[in-house]
């Protein structure tokens, strides 16, 4: 089984690191390949950037037809996912949609920790589209741009934990969803500091992709 993970940004120095991280969550006899777009922005944080990357995402999927059993668009905003599903013959998953649905299996209400107010707005609109508004406790922006999340990892972790603890108490969240795949490397540490489930979208989506591929769900259009 082969899973293609598309980082929907221009050539990304983290592709190899992302691949090594995701390999920890592979089933036996499964493989994962992480690729970036041939051209694109350094991050996808606005509606404009989501529109810009769509053409290259579709090109990447078309170039890899028949080579993979499932595809993941590795951004919590799930850019271009409807169009990607239209041209792919295998399951195409987005970390945002997948992780928020899984959150509903783990608790009554979930909160999403999002990098900025602009990304939080995207999450809010997607939640409405998914029909999950009644399961949402809150969307909490960190007010940290994606490119700045790694500048001071401990500060980022502390901010996430503080915001998460606050929404657990004030909004009744019993599940925390990390609303950016760039937070993946610190998910384990964040989980240690909280007493509710913490969903790391990249890993969860990879596991679900393997399940769907193993069940041989072919998407015929």
Model pLDDT for residues 151-193, shown as the tens digit of each residue? 899 999 999 999 999 999 999 999 999 999 999 999 999 999 9
Q: If you classify domain 2-95+204-214 with CATH, what class do you get?
A: alpha beta
Residues of the chain whose pLDDT is less than 50?
220-221
pLDDT at residue 219 in the model: 54
According to DSSP, the residues that pair with 177 across neighbouring strands are 112, 199
The residues, ordered by sequence, that sit 6+ positions from 36 with a Cβ below 8 Å of its Cβ are: 6, 7, 8, 9, 10, 11, 12, 15
**Fold agreement between 2-95+204-214 and 96-200:** yes
Q: Where are the domains of the chain?
A: 2-95+204-214, 96-200
pLDDT at residue 218 in the model: 57
Model pLDDT for residues 29-44, shown as the tens digit of each residue? 899 999 999 998 888 8
Full-model pTM? 0.92
The residues, ordered by sequence, that sit 6+ positions from 64 with a Cβ below 8 Å of its Cβ are: 4, 71
pLDDT at residue 217 in the model: 62
Q: What fold does the segment set 96-200 form as a domain?
A: Rossmann fold (3.40.50)
């Amino acid at each position: 089984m082969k899973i293609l993970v598309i980082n929907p940004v221009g050539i990304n120095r983290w592709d190899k690191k992302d691949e090594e991280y995701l390999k920890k969550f592979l089933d036996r006899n499964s493989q994962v390949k992480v690729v970036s777009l041939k051209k694109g922005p350094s991050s996808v944080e606005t509606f404009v950037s989501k529109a810009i990357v769509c053409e290259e995402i579709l090109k990447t999927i078309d170039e890899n037809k028949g080579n993979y059993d499932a595809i993941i668009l590795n951004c919590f905003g799930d850019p271009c996912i409807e169009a990607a599903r239209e041209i792919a013959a295998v399951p195409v998953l987005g970390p945002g949609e997948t992780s928020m649905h899984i959150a509903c299996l783990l608790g009554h209400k979930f909160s999403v920790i999002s990098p900025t107010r602009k990304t939080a707005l995207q999450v809010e609109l997607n939640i409405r589209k998914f029909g999950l508004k009644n399961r949402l406790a809150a969307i909490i922006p960190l007010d940290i741009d994606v490119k700045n999340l790694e500048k001071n990892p401990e500060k980022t972790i502390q901010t996430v934990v503080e915001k998460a603890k606050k929404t657990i108490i004030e909004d009744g969240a019993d599940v925390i969803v990390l609303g950016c795949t760039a937070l993946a490397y610190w998910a384990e540490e964040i989980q240690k500091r909280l007493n509710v489930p913490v969903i790391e979208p990249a890993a969860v989506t990879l596991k679900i992709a393997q399940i769907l591929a193993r069940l041989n769900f072919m998407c015929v259009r």
